[in-house]
Amino acid sequence: MSTNANVIVGEAIRRIREAVGLSQEKLAEKAAITYQYLSGIESGKKNFTVGVLQAIATALGLGVDALVAAAFADNQPVPVVDQRYFIKNSALPPRLTPDHIQSALNHTHKIVRLVNAALIKSSGRPLSSYIQGNNFSGIVSNILTDSFSTLTPYKHFHGQKYPDLVCDDKGKRIGGLEVKSTIQIGKGGESHNGHSGWHIVACFRIDKDTGDIQFIHVMFANLIGHGQRNADWKYIGSKVNKKTGSQRTETYNTTSTGTAKLRHGTVYLDPAAVKIDRWRTDPKVPVPPCSPFQLKTKTNKKKRRTGRD
């Protein structure tokens, strides 16, 4: 290991040790090395083997991979979306362009990295390891909303009112956008209001070690709210668990038609991470020329003509 790497790893060990409240003596004891040796490692003056690193990581309550990730977190490039995966002519809310979306997605990656870098520096663990998945996705959703507000014509509405973002022109409202994010690939919309208007569903994945997120699929659709004719949302319910007394808040999910609208409204698709081959769409929903399912439909038709069936 190079001297520079020794210093980086040593500093990470010191930061995490102090964050978890261990003295050098105590950590050295747990890792079965002398505190003089540990001191030398922390200051980057001593070499160490993988075995010693493993012992130190275990004593800190981490895996070697997490410890190394913590040490080099700041030196990794922030993930960016791939420009090639944008579908340029998809239908979008007024005044919104693929470039706007690209910058908002990348900005969200960056903010999540900044949060994680601070946490990893002090404790060796990213944000996603501290909180429940649903709440993490909620945070990503909020950061993405803020990124839109910062970098696009769509600005914060107010608090928890619908929609999340609005676009005004000379005092006149010309557009609204509700932002949703999820780690569930292929999922449609899920909401507790199910209103009419433009929605974005952004699917991302998480790197467990660094906590970095990477958007892999982004869909837009102008959906019809519940209670209206041909609504794209269906009511799922709000029930009280008799045993625990807990109440599940009411939920609306997109219907198969609503989900199909979103899928046909794909704006960004990472083909290596998201396989749409077997996704269902709704025959009632017209397939726009820019839909990623255009290709699928053509392939299926060809198959049907030439296939064994």
Partner DNA sequence: ACCGCATCTGTGGGTCTATA
Partner DNA sequence: TATAGACCCACAGATGCGGT
Q: In the set 54, 129, 193, 222, which binds DNA (CB under 7 A)?
A: 193
Do 183 and 204 form a contact (C-beta atoms < 8 A)? yes
- For DNA, the binding residue among 58, 103, 253, 288 (CB under 7 A) is 253
Nearest distance, CB of residue 185 and DNA, angstroms: 7
In 175-292, alpha helices (H): 256-264
Residues 96-155 that bind DNA (CB under 7 A): 132-138, 141
Q: Is 219 within 8 Å of 262 (Cβ atoms)?
A: yes
- What's CA 165's distance to the chain center, in Å? 19
Question: With respect to DNA, which residue has the nearer C-beta, 27 or 262?
Answer: 262
DSSP state of 240: B
Q: Does 187 bind DNA (CB under 7 A)?
A: yes
**Residue 243 binds to DNA (criterion: CB under 7 A):** yes
Q: Is 306 a residue that touches DNA (CB under 7 A)?
A: no
Q: Quickly list H helices, the chain.
A: 3-19, 24-30, 35-42, 50-59, 64-72, 98-123, 133-151, 256-264, 293-306
Closer CB to DNA, residue 48 or residue 220? 220
Q: Which is nearer to DNA, 3 or 235 (CB)?
A: 235
> Closer to DNA at the Cβ: 11 or 190?
190
Query: Interface mask (CB under 7 A) for DNA, residues 37-56, using x and -?
Result: --------------------
Radius of gyration of the chain, Cα coordinates, nearest whole angstrom: 24
Site for DNA in 265-294 (CB under 7 A): 275, 277-280
Dist. CA 78–CA 239, nearest whole Å: 42
Per CB under 7 A, the list member of 179, 218, 221, 223 interacting with DNA is 179
Cα–Cα distance, 209 to 186 (Å, whole number): 24
In the list 88, 156, 192, 302, the residue contacting DNA (rule: CB under 7 A) is: 192
On whether the CB atoms of residues 184 and 159 are closer than 8 A, the answer is: no
Cα dihedral value 188, 189, 195, 197, nearest 10? -60
Interface contacts to DNA, rule CB under 7 A: 132-138, 141, 159-160, 162, 164, 178-188, 190-193, 234, 236-237, 239, 241, 243-244, 246-251, 253, 256, 259, 275, 277-280, 300
